[in-house]
Amino acid sequence: MSDADATTALAPSAASAIPPEELDRLTDEIIGALKTVYDPEIPVDVYELGLVYRIDVSDDRDIAIDMTLTAPGCPVAGEMPGWVENAVSSVPGVGKVTVTMVFDPPWDQSRMSDEARVALDMW
């Protein structure tokens, strides 16, 4: 996911009651937590693969994440949301974390970051 996509994915839809400095910290730490979760079949984290479609931080610091998989039949489809939820829940100051699997739009390689492309030698 490009930095511009990440900014858009994390941008609040309305003015947030969370102070900007805290929202920036939460955003950075949530992204850091997402980067600790790897697709076991691909040596790249879910964030850089572009599997995270939306991250919403509510005024209560609850986190809603929409994500997908590289393929609907992925063998870890049942486990991946829990891995993401656990990783993001470890961020200090985060409330309840909800991860929703979505398959529209379908994932494709254009969603990967440059970092992921280098790691997978897909230039």
**Could you read off the pLDDT of 86-108 as tens digits, one per residue?**
999 999 999 999 999 999 999 99
- pLDDT at residue 82, as a whole number: 97
- pLDDT at residue 5, as a whole number: 47
Q: Please give the class, per CATH, of domain 3-112.
A: alpha beta
Smallest Cα–Cα separation from 9: which of 72, 86, 64, 62? 64
- pLDDT at residue 41, as a whole number: 81
Q: How far, CA to CA in Å, does 6 sit from each of 1, 2, 18, 85?
A: 6, 6, 19, 18
Do the beta carbons of residue 1 and residue 117 sit within 8 Å?
Answer: no
CA distance 54 to 65: 5
Do the beta carbons of residue 46 and residue 34 sit within 8 Å?
Answer: yes
